[in-house]
């Protein structure tokens, strides 16, 4: 049985990571045909080309800028909303939660098209055109429910009396929030922010409809399909994957270290 | 969980982002000292993906060069099909100044009044465009468009398995001995076009029976076809996964020249399609003059030569051809002989009802007949029943537990 479960795990991880391994291997492929399936030697050629390709770099810059703005703004709005929702009575809270969850189950294409229609009307009224602003608004909108969903559980786990106790002991409401509530819910806030960031970075459908004349990386990659998707994209994906991996490792290692420290402190006195 | 790791990891995240955005900076700082004064105007250009010389690998960065010479900035974005260009333009909200659609899309756009008439006094370099590309069928008065690139469709084949003499006819794509090794276009006009030429029809027929007949031919071919693809043909042909694939001649550069096993023929038994991608200005452009300057710049033989040598497609300018290497100009793949070009036909926009018919027929070809859709419905219904079953079961269980 144990062997069987190991084999099962092996296959699951194989299916999960085989595509990424192939992608990384072929980012080092020294081919002139831009082939993504025939190996012809090791080189860093595509990495060099990637950094001299102005269009990819511009698209990447746009994507990161949008993701950072969307993550930060949706985290602030989402946290505020979660606090508000948490203090509602049972029925209104259920109602509001259902309304905020609706955009998550709504098909992306519906969200995309409806936002485009709305933006087109708004943009005509103020006489500009769709662009980076409209993508940011769209991304903030679809990231919001995820932030609320990751912050709210932390709030309900928290002892409701803590905040009142802080007020009783002389904190102003803002101080009470920053020094008592905020440290309690920060893991939820960070999870929400990271989720918003990743959701925004790889969104294609909603960006496609609301982008106007701005180009993000997913849209740029998709537009290459008539000719061919250049292995530069493999190189870029490899770099992104490596950065995310390193980030995750650091975060987890620190968590581990901290847990040990806590254990240590508990043991000593 | 304390703050320390958090603050540090957030700091790390942001520094990673900073590094990433730093990589973006040098691109804009590339401007030259002898640049034209900045006009402060930015034009929005919408072109096919990978369809301009972009400065990678020692090539000329055409957009940067334009900004340097004229002081006009370019916001360059890309699309994947004519249809997505059309939906973006008709959807509204996006203001483009220069677009580069293909032939039939130009006639559709101009027919719907979505294109601006060009002022050819502002495009003096139009004089370099060869006569045979002026006043084409898709723009008979030559009022709306300036050709950018052109090409024909031919057949890629694997020399180890397919004999060159077989590929002079589109019929080889219907040969049962290559079952499972044939690729077809994943777009209706190009796929139907091949069937239409076997049947001896025009690409632009409006007779419903003609389209039905072509669809039947494609349905007969379907069991032999490995996949309907676009850019994947490069990998599939290169790796030997597929042996026969129709595609655009301009893309032969990357395949034929680097892989000795792959050949390319433009069929001569039946006519082929010749296509043109041309620059236009959409209605409502707020920088028409600057857009015309851009189109004029693209027609500069030096720029046109840089672009086609990057893209691999053919140039409509003899003056630009002179700047290209001789083996390219003399290669019949890129510049096919007169007799092929004389027979070749261009796509023109189809009337709305023919387009609708084409869409339905294409969906039928790709998804199979009505028999398959009933199986699909049956599977969906079964899933639904299964789901309802689970819900009912859970309800009952809960009730039992409550009692």
pLDDT digits (tens, 9 = 90+) for B58-86: 889 999 999 999 999 999 999 988 988 99
Judged by CB atoms closer than 8 Å, whether chains meet at A220 and B93 is answered as no
> What stretches of chain A show up as alpha helix (H) in DSSP?
2-27, 45-52, 54-86, 90-105, 108-126, 132-157, 161-168, 173-176, 182-201, 205-210, 217-223, 232-267
Residues in CB range of A49: below 8 A, 6 or more apart: A230, A232, A235, B56, B57
Backbone angles phi, psi at B244, to 5 degrees: -135, 130
Choice between A94 and B12, residue whose per-residue pLDDT is larger: A94
* pTM of the full structure: 0.82
Provide the pLDDT for residue B69: 93
What's the pLDDT band for A91 if we cut at 50, 70, 90?
A: very high
Chain B partners within 8 Å of A213 (Cβ):
44, 46, 75, 77, 94-96
B-chain residues near A212 (CB < 8 A): 93-95
- Report CB contact under 8 Å: B24, A61: yes
Whether residue A25 is predicted with pLDDT greater than 70 in this model: the reply is yes
Q: What residue ranges do the domains of chain B occupy?
A: 23-150+277-333, 153-274+352-367
Rounding to the nearest 10 degrees, give the CA dihedral for residues B137, B138, B140, B144: -150
Q: Which of A55, A60, A230 sits opposite B76 (nearest CB)?
A: A55
Q: Which of B15, B21, B50 to mutate to test the interface with A (most CBs of A within 10 A)?
A: B50
In the prediction, which pLDDT does A232 show? 87
Question: Ramachandran region of residue B55, left (φ > 0), alpha (ψ -120 to 50) or beta?
Answer: left
> In chain B, which stretches have pLDDT less than 70?
1-34, 368-372
Of A34, A224, A250, the CB nearest to B9: A250
Domain A54-230 has CATH 1.10.3720.10: yes
Over residues A56-82, mean pLDDT: 95
b/e map of A182-204 (b: 16 or more CB within 10 Å)? eebbbebbbbbbbbbbebbbebe
CATH 3.30.70.20 fits B23-150+277-333, yes or no: no
DSSP per residue over A102-148, as a string?
A: HHHHS-HHHHHHHHHHHHHHHHHHHT---SHHHHHHHHHHHHHHHHH
A227 vs B13, B17, B231: nearest CB: B231
pLDDT of residue B266: 93
A 175-234: CB under 8 A from B: 183, 186-187, 190, 209, 211-215, 219-220, 222-230, 232
**Does residue A257 have a pLDDT over 60?**
yes
Query: Is some CB atom of chain B closer than 8 A to the CB atom of A39?
Result: no
B80 contacts in chain A (CB < 8 Å): 222-226
Contact B231 A37 (CB under 8 A): no
Interface residue B22 vs chain A (CB under 8 A): no
Please tell me the predicted confidence (pLDDT) of residue B27: 42
- Chain A residues whose beta carbon lies within 8 Å of the beta carbon of residue B77: 213-215, 219-220
- In chain A, which residue's Cα lies nearest the Cα of B95? A129
CATH code reported for the domain at B153-274+352-367? 3.40.190.10
B50 neighbors B311 (Cβ within 8 angstroms): yes
Rounded CA-CA distance B335/B340 in Å is 10
Integer CA distances (angstroms), A153 to A77, A165, A182, A266, B373, in order = 16, 21, 14, 27, 44
Chain A residue with minimal CA distance to B79?
A: A223
Note whether A127 contacts B: Cβ–Cβ < 8 A. no
Q: Which of these, B268, B266, B263, lies nearest to B237 by C-alpha position?
A: B263
A43 touches chain B (CB under 8 A): no
Higher pLDDT, B113 or A229: B113
Compute the nearest-CA separation of A169 from chain B (Å): 23
ipTM: 0.81
Cross-chain CB nearest to A54 (options B27, B234, B259): B27
- Put simply, the answer to whether A120 touches B57 (Cβ < 8 Å) is no
For B194-230, the pLDDT digits (tens) are 999 999 999 999 999 999 999 999 999 999 999 998 8
Are A124 and B234 in contact (CB < 8 Å)? no
Instruction: Dump pLDDT digits (tens) for B126-156.
Output: 999 999 999 998 999 999 999 999 999 999 9
Contact between chains at A186 and B6 (C-beta distance less than 8 A): yes
Residue A35 at interface with chain B, using a CB cutoff of 8 Å? yes
What CA–CA distances, in Å, run from B150 to A137, B19, B310, B317? 40, 41, 14, 10
Mean pLDDT value across residues A10-34:
88
| Domain definitions of chain A by residue range | 1-43+233-269, 54-230
Q: In this predicted model, which residue has the larger pLDDT, B373 or A63?
A: A63
């Amino acid at each position: 049985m144990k062997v069987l479960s190991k084999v099962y795990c092996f296959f699951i991880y194989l299916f999960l990571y085989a595509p990424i391994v192939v992608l990384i291997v072929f980012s080092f492929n020294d081919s002139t045909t831009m082939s993504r399936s025939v190996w012809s030697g090791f080189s860093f050629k595509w990495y060099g080309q990637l950094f001299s390709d102005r269009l990819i770099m511009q698209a990447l810059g746009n994507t990161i800028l949008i993701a950072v703005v969307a993550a930060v703004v949706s985290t602030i709005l989402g946290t505020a909303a979660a606090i508000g929702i948490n203090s509602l009575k049972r029925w209104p809270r259920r109602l509001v939660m259902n309304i905020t969850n609706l955009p998550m189950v709504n098909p992306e294409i519906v969200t995309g098209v409806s936002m485009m229609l709305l933006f087109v009307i708004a943009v005509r009224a103020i006489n500009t055109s769709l662009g980076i602003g409209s993508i940011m608004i769209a991304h903030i909108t679809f990231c919001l429910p995820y932030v609320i969903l990751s912050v709210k559980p932390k709030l309900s786990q928290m002892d409701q009396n803590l905040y009142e106790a802080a007020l009783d002991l002389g904190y102003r409401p803002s101080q009470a929030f920053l020094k008592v509530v905020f440290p309690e819910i920060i893991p939820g806030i960070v999870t929400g922010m990271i989720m918003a960031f990743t959701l925004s970075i790889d969104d294609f459908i909603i960006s496609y409809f609301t982008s106007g004349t701005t180009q993000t990386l997913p849209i740029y990659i998709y537009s290459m399909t008539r000719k061919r998707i250049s292995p530069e994209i493999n190189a870029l994906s490899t770099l992104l994957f490596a950065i995310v991996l390193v980030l995750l490792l650091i975060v987890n290692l620190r968590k581990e270290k901290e847990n040990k420290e806590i254990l240590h402190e508990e043991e000593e006195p | 969980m304390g703050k320390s790791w958090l603050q540090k990891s957030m700091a790390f995240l942001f520094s990673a982002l900073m590094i990433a955005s730093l990589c973006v900076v040098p691109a804009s700082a590339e401007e030259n000292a002898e640049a034209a004064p900045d006009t402060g105007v930015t034009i929005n250009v919408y072109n096919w993906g990978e369809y301009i010389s972009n400065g990678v690998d020692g090539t000329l960065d055409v957009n940067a060069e334009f900004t340097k010479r004229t002081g006009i900035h370019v916001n360059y974005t890309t699309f994947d099909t004519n249809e997505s260009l059309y939906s973006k333009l008709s959807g509204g909200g996006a203001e483009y100044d220069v677009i580069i659609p293909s032939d039939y899309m130009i006639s559709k756009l101009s027919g719907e009044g979505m294109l601006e008439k060009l002022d050819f006094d502002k495009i003096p370099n139009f004089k370099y465009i060869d006569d045979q590309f002026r006043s084409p069928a898709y723009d008979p008065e030559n009022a709306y468009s300036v050709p950018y690139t052109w090409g024909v469709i031919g057949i890629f084949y694997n020399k180890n398995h397919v004999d060159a003499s077989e590929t002079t006819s589109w019929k080889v794509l219907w040969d049962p001995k290559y079952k499972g090794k044939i690729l077809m276009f994943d777009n209706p006009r190009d796929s139907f076009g091949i069937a239409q030429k076997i049947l001896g029809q025009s690409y632009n027929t409006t007779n419903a029976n003609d389209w039905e007949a072509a669809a039947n031919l494609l349905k007969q071919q379907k069991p032999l076809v490995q996949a309907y693809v676009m850019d994947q043909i490069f990998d599939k042909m290169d790796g030997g996964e597929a042996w026969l694939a129709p595609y655009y001649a301009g893309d032969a550069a990357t395949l034929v020249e680097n892989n000795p096993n792959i050949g390319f023929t433009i069929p001569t038994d039946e006519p082929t399609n010749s296509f043109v991608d041309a620059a236009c200005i959409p209605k409502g452009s707020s920088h028409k003059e600057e857009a015309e300057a851009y189109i004029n710049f693209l027609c500069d033989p030096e720029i046109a030569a840089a672009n086609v040598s990057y893209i691999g497609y053919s140039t409509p300018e003899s003056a630009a051809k002179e700047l290209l290497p001789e083996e390219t100009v003399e290669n019949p793949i890129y510049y096919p002989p007169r007799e092929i070009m004389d027979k070749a036909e261009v796509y023109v926009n189809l009337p709305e009802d023919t387009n609708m018919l084409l869409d339905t027929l294409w969906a039928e070809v790709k998804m199979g007949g009505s028999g398959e859709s009933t199986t699909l419905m049956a599977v969906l219904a079964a899933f639904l029943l299964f789901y309802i079953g689970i819900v009912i079961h859970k309800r009952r269980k809960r009730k039992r537990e409550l009692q």
